[in-house]
Structure 1
């Protein structure tokens, strides 16, 4: 059951992000105009922001809540794949968002309880699983859509979450209770850093295609640049080991120094720009592993608030990046300022 908690992020994010490369195909499938599938991506993240702080207060055992969340993510994905209209698909995406809100806050808090002697290392492994799941979901969705169609791709990528949820629900008592949640307002530096982490990730990643196309990159070359996300896997997985050797604060600050360097390289022509993007991703996910681990060790209340602030940062990135489409250097400047703020806060003691 401990392994199920660690793998929950792989199953969750592969199902949740499978729709990303399929958005134009979904709109074509349902005969909808371009952009009409956008709410199906934004609203689930909004539910994560709104519901994550409330999850620890639910009168459910941790196993019931975690298993139920995974079950809802899988079931929502399957029902969405079978939907006859875009409206129904969007509604079932809301069901996925509700289920997703139940998982990360509890999983982050469960990891240090299940692995008390290796809390730092396993927090990094859990975060690496999240990166792997998000990457696999995006890549496999495109590949599967060519073979089994859009509906088949979404259905198949929802099955792991459904099956893992059923497994956890089969023996919910095997996961330990987490106790009453504590909401600590003194954790605001941790919450702020959580928001900065996802904001920097999505804000600059959303703007990068426009920059690359201006430089003469083709669409296929732009897609290959996003293989840089794979560097987040070793970045997350090694965060705990580095923290054990160098100290959590020193590792966090080293990660953000590298992130700042990577952002600076984004202003240079390729291949240095591509190297900078890969370096930034590896560093951000290293810091993310440390921050989520720190939130988990403070209990389910703090971890729920951290998850909410994390996805709030992603929501703000989606709203703000269009304002910087014609001013990439200014966007990088904003990123550097936020990165420096996170470096100074270093809330991972």
Structure 2
């Protein structure tokens, strides 16, 4: 999932089609790779020690980010039982972090243009870890939610900034693999955080689950700081808020980009709703799974890695809108399969939901980088902001629907999001046909 993600190779669905530093409308100074000799490219080459250190450092940063971002998702049934919360109330411990990240990602990524990538990433990861170390000692929903929101703000300093750092410091020939390893850290962190917290909580309680995630993230943060090479190509420049605002509003006013932002929000609404509520359903009748076993269901998250890798091939074969229709259909079919009270069908449905979500997300986020003719970093930031708003919306609304109508209510919320996504995609299809007819 941030940055904000985005160099679009088959294995890096969420990276911008071109490095985040390709367009810098918010700076008054130009930041381009240079060398003291004027002839030697100072960026890290394939196989070099600097590249290996960079890859490992940012793998650790990605791992820490998503360990922390979703650390409470597998704990929601425990939180509800111990703090006497409804699913909707408990879900805010997940949604608050996503909202904090969504709100802060654009301004913090802009600050990295002034104060440096490494400095911002270091402050971000250690601030998020410091908050994580406090979380196990909280005793009420209000404090826990507020701290999680602050943690999301801190985590906003990592995704987009990491993408920019890689684009500046890594030679283009090594960039796809470097981006791929960073996103792998994101994916593994997202799965591991849910697994670790859920399994530990099943044995020792939710506070121990949060503590385990905090300590794991601390180790990743230390590894990042020790390994990250000194930036050699960054050139600071003053931020121009007016230019940034002009770029952001211009992207929002672009009809195609607006549709892509909406698709990111809608796909993530489904993902947030399903994965937030799933634990409640699995520990309740008729399944009655133990907490640790219910948490292991997050291994299905790895399906996203396969779907992400396949998304480029699907898009090449079906076209962007065809791939989106396929993703919507797959996700919707998976949602329907989870309705019967059958664990095998629920697992199969979850596989389809995860595959459809990652395919849709990859196709939409890739199109953002290709569609934006300027300010690609800001376009990607807006996509990710919408994406995380969708996560918050899906988690909160899906949990409330579950509290009121059971799993059928959650599925209804998710299917409504997919129906809207189909409408947005159909709108794009009609607009494209009209534009083609006008051109003729």
- TM > 0.5 fold call: yes
In structure 2, runs of 5+ residues without a counterpart are 1-53, 430-440
Match of 2:4 in 1: none
Q: Contact 2:77/2:279 (CA < 8 Å) preserved in 1?
A: no
Match of 1:129 in 2: 185
Match of 1:33 in 2: 84
Distance 1:204 1:26 in 2: 18
Distance 1:213 1:81 in 2: 23
Render the CA deviation track for 1:145-196: whole Å, top value 9, x for unaligned: 4566544442332234334445555657427549766533333233222212
Distance 2:80 2:420 in 1: 36
RMSD: 4.0
Match of 2:75 in 1: 22
Change (3 A) 1:259 1:226: farther
**1:197 and 2:271 equivalent?**
no
Match of 2:44 in 1: none
Distance 2:167 2:212 in 1: 31
Secondary structure (helix, strand or coil) at the match of 1:217 reads coil
Secondary structure (helix, strand or coil) at the match of 2:323 reads helix
Q: Contact 2:125/2:154 (CA < 8 Å) preserved in 1?
A: yes
Render the CA deviation track for 1:95-128: whole Å, top value 9, x for unaligned: 3122112122323444555463466666555444
Distance 1:222 1:153 in 2: 14
Structure with higher Rg: it is 2
Change (3 A) 1:158 1:214: closer
Match of 1:243 in 2: 312
Secondary structure (helix, strand or coil) at the match of 2:397 reads helix
Q: In the TM superposition, what is the alpha-carbon distance from 1:199 to its structure 2 partner?
A: 1.0
Change (3 A) 1:286 1:176: farther
Distance 1:308 1:160 in 2: 26
1:307 to 370, 384, 397: 384
Distance 2:80 2:283 in 1: 24
Residues matched between the structures, number: 341
In structure 1, runs of 5+ residues without a counterpart are none
* More helix by percentage: 1
Change (3 A) 1:336 1:96: closer
Render the CA deviation track for 1:235-291: whole Å, top value 9, x for unaligned: 23x15xx62796498377436504413422432445455323202202322343454
Match of 1:257 in 2: 326
